[in-house]
A and B are shown apart, each in its own frame.
Chain A
């Protein structure tokens, strides 16, 4: 469905020397270098990487806004920047930081205008609109001017606006940015539903790892313009989750020896916090050793936060 081969993009950026307005030096910035990947129909792919890694550049190339310096990009058989008008019929794009709705008028008016922009027939428009209104529960929002919507409500309308013309692919650039927890969950459910019900392929960039955990079966990691990882989130977890945390509550103050392969982080009279290095030992072994020494009341095992894992990953990849 999406085929990207050796995609590169370099920008020439003017570097202004101190005080000199006339003499300009140019510097070439490589935003993307030799990026290749494929996305199949119906997938949800999480596209992650630190700020400035090249995520937006890739999205812009895939949506036909930017022309790459070299490389191939075929989406549903079309090259985005060569057949822009045809290509954009197939895609929907949501930029989390920008609105595509008309600010001062009710949401429904924006939708009606989009109908004419995409030259939709009244019947297919009505069908698509009705479906989106019920899936995203927009009924009460349709007649409210966009500027009066909350960010979460607006994001739901943005997603609807991007899907109105029934595209096969949806690009979401930070769709949950700035949303509160409840709205985030609502947006995630929406994306999941759309993917399941319409079979829309979703490519999602985000900095919120819980978005990825909730949605993406597959992640693409990019750093400094290069592809670093492409595969299932679980594989990545298995590879990079090197420690777990364990909290132990016990009956009375007593001394104990830390089992091999663990480090004590915190200890009070009735509670201890340990990290377990999974390369040296395993959770059951540690628990067994602790039960032998202590009267345990409760044990909590926590995964290392996925954020921390990503930080470790970025560090390892030196990005």
Chain B
């Protein structure tokens, strides 16, 4: 942990060397998704609601999804840009250090410019909350935190899985964005609006559903979602990291026997 904090400090220091670039990127990270949100607003302005979900309800989900994605991208950037580490051969260097490889890859790179996206998410989230007028309970606080934490872990898990693929092939990894960026775009809406096959995939393969439509329904006290157990459901998302890390270890083993 102490080492991890040292890595974070180093990441901040490295990024602050280029201050102007940092601030411009932050601003970009704020506005690019914000325009998506405006698009969402225009959509709702025309259709009023989406299968029973109102604009503010979707905005709440949008806010949380973007916060989770921004945090995952900021802190798990090392895995996100891992193919570069393999391509340049610098992964060898990590194997020379007496520290586990996942920790080193995490520490290798941070992307703090995602604070722009985070801020955008926080603003929309707060705005949506104030509009909805939620009936607050402790369990709901636990539930919202869970949506954020579970979301971070699911996105991180995806980053790790696609980083691992780089051990076999360095080309063609753009396809990974279907799941990461695509997952984000998809999960900023309640998953219940999608076709059954899409819903199934994002429930059983990549468990976005546990941080998405289910807890959202619980928060908004939708019929059929009264049980307090739903408040804890988003924490299931955390476990998505486990198979991801196993896959990672498998990849490292393969790398060590081929060195390619």
Q: Decide yes or no whether A88 CB sits under 8 A from chain B.
A: yes
A67 close to B2 (CB less than 8 A): no
In the complex, which of the residues B18, B96, B260 has the most CB atoms of chain A within 10 Å of its own CB atom?
A: B96
Q: Select from chain A the residue with minimum beta-carbon distance to B88.
A: A98
Determine which of A11, A67, A81, A145 lies in contact with B17 in the assembled complex, contact meaning CB atoms within 8 Å. A145
Take A113-B10, A116-B6 as given contacts and tell me if A88 and B96 are in contact as well, using a CB distance cutoff of 8 Å: yes
Are A109 and B10 within 8 A (Cβ)? yes
Is A63 interfacial (CB-CB < 8 Å)? yes
Q: Is the CB of B98 within 8 A of A117?
A: yes
Among candidates A12, A65, A102, residue contacting B256 with C-beta atoms closer than 8 Å: A65
Q: How far is the CB of A166 from chain B (nearest CB, A)?
A: 13
Q: In the docked arrangement, what's the CA distance between A88 and B89, Å? A: 18
Q: How far is the CB of B220 from chain A (nearest CB, A)?
A: 46
Known: A89-B98, A104-B14, A105-B17. A113 touches B6 (CB 8 A): yes
Known contacts A11-B259, A67-B256, A145-B17; decide if A85 and B96 are in contact (CB<8 Å): no
Q: How large is the interface on A (under 10, 10 to 19, 20 to 34, 35 or more residues)?
A: 20 to 34
In the assembled complex, the CB of B170 is this many whole angstroms from the nearest CB of chain A, namely 13
Docked pose: A71 CA to B186 CA in angstroms: 51
Indicate whether B258 reaches chain A with its CB closer than 8 angstroms: yes
Interface size on B, residues (CB 8 A): 25
Q: Mark A151-181, 1 if CB is under 8 A from B, else 0.
A: 0000000000000000000000000000000
Chain B residues whose C-beta falls within 8 Å of the C-beta of A65 in the assembled complex: 92, 95-96, 256, 259
Q: Does A64 contact B (CB under 8 A)?
A: yes
CB distance from A63 to the nearest CB of B (A): 6
Let me know if B96 and A93 touch, CB within 8 A: yes
A84 interface residue, CB < 8 Å from B? yes
CA–CA, A119 to B14, complex, Å? 22
Residues of the B chain whose Cβ atoms lie less than 8 Å from the Cβ of A113: 6-7, 10
Whether, in the assembled complex, A66 has its beta carbon less than 8 Å from a beta carbon of chain B, the answer is: yes
Cβ 8 A contact of A66, one of B2, B13, B257: B257
Inter-chain CA distance A88–B92, complex, in Å, is 12
- Hey, what's the 0/1 contact readout for A109-131 against B, CB within 8 Å counting as 1? 10011001111000000000000
**Sample of 8 more A-B contacts, CB < 8 Å, known A104-B18, A117-B98:** A11-B260, A85-B98, A98-B93, A109-B13, A112-B6, A113-B6, A113-B7, A113-B10
The 7 closest A-B pairs by CB, nearest first: A104-B14, A104-B17, A85-B98, A116-B3, A65-B95, A116-B6, A67-B257
A to B CB contacts below 8 Å, 9 in the list: A57-B259, A60-B92, A63-B96, A66-B259, A85-B98, A88-B95, A100-B96, A104-B13, A104-B18
